[in-house]
Structure 1
């Protein structure tokens, strides 16, 4: 697999909900995990989501890296996790979701430190995006159709790039050697 690994979707969800329900100082980090694995955004775009956006059924953002507009559906997993935040001052004000106790938006470095704390040393913010991709691919029966859709979502030049990005190609190569 290239770069950071993906986090198994169910493990990420379970860990995130445990963080949220524990009401710890990392509570909104749990919501970041849920949003990350359900929206497939790059960390720069994820960090700037607001409560007002997450309260809607769908949002349109302009991706920071590509400058392309993208419409995202806020699914039930995000809405359910968000329900734990209704008493938050920022929730009512509609402000940024992923802020530190000092009130500033998390940095990607801070997110990476927290991911390593809750998962493993190789996990990075990019792991959330890969988890989203692996879940889409798995839910669609590991189909070529899902790779085409993910290639569009991720703005990859080809499905071959998406296969490499998700670590699928390496797994297939490993299977060749293991099945000789």
Structure 2
């Protein structure tokens, strides 16, 4: 039996020195100079599944929304309500625009909004936004994103309660008095806790938001083959099979195939 930590090595860079711990179960943890875990991963435990699932039924989405609304209603202070509304907004935006969590947490108000009213509410939304995803910056590639009515309504609801003062501010703030965005790990923990409270049994993580968008794009499409081809391009996947698996369809298709075959039953 191998030890939990089989080996380690020091990696030097211009910005910092990190210790990468190589675990026997194939995962790594990156640490800063001070020994704290880096925020680039959600640092899953050994006994946790690495696969996360989409919110692939209306009931699951409704259950999540009920928990978010409950937290807003039960907020005892302005700061608590603001954070509860932020959590609801990041969920709704995440499942409706389908970008990676690393890009989602860095969104600013000017991503969506063209101009503001004098009271800090939205005067005009943008028709679309050309985003340069973090993972494609080296290729200088952009993705054009469009915003549906759900995103607009969710933003309007938020700013009616907490008006915008600066379009350059991060939407999903870390703390009320900071100009930093929510961390990847904080988003991960929030989604897992909310899903647990909502009674969702499947493993939920940050990828659940993007997977949910992909699943429902396919589910609502009239031409599902065409939808898969478009999703493959949106996700930058190497094959349709990868896209099928990513949005949680491959397993269900395999299960359906197994259940469709009953051989020898009449002879039992």
Candidates 225, 231, 248, aligned match of 1:167: 248
Whether 1:44 aligns to 2:102 is yes
Q: Which of 99, 104, 107 lines up with 2:173 in the alignment? A: 99
More divergent stretch after superposition (113-122 vs 58-67): 113-122
Aligned counterpart, 1:12: 61
Structure number with higher relative contact order (C-alpha < 8 Å, ≥ 6 residues apart): 1
TM-score by length of 1: 0.89
2:68, 2:88 within 8 Å by CA — same for their partners in 1?
Answer: yes
Aligned counterparts, 1:102-113, within 5 A: 102=176, 103=178, 104-113=180-189
**TM-score normalised according to structure 2 size:** 0.61
Give the alignment partner of residue 61 of structure 1, picking from 122, 126, 131: 131
Match of 2:221 among 124, 128, 140: 140
Q: 1:105 to 1:18 in 2, by over 3 A?
A: same
Higher share in strand: 2
Deviations 1:22-44 (A, max 9, x none): 26332111111111111100011
**Equivalents in 1 of 2:62, 2:109: separation in Å?**
20
Distance 1:83 1:154 in 2: 28
What corresponds to 1:124 in structure 2? 205
Structure 1: 5+ residue runs without aligned partners? none
- Of 58-67 and 17-26, deviating more is 17-26
1:54, distance to aligned residue in structure 2 (A): 1.9
Contact 1:7 1:127 in 2 (8 A): yes
Superposed CA offset, 1:65-112 (max 9, x none): 1222011011110000001222435x2311110012242211111011
- Looking at structure 1, the residues matched to 257 and 203 of structure 2 have their Cα atoms a distance apart, in angstroms, of 26
Instruction: Determine which structure has the larger helix proportion and give its number.
Output: 1
Gaps (5+ residues) in structure 2?
Answer: 1-49, 74-80, 114-125, 197-201, 262-268
Q: Which moved more, 1:34-43 or 1:102-111?
A: 102-111
CA distance in 1, matches of 2:85, 2:215: 25
- Alpha-carbon separation, structure 2, partners of 1:172 and 1:142: 17
SS in 2 for 1:123: coil
Displacement of 1:9 in angstroms is 5.9
Aligned to 1:72: 145
Any conservation in 2 of the 1:16–1:30 contact (CA below 8 Å)?
yes
Check conservation: 1:151, 1:157, Cα contact below 8 A: yes
Query: Deviations 1:152-171 (Å, cap 9, x if unpaired)?
Result: 00001111110111121111
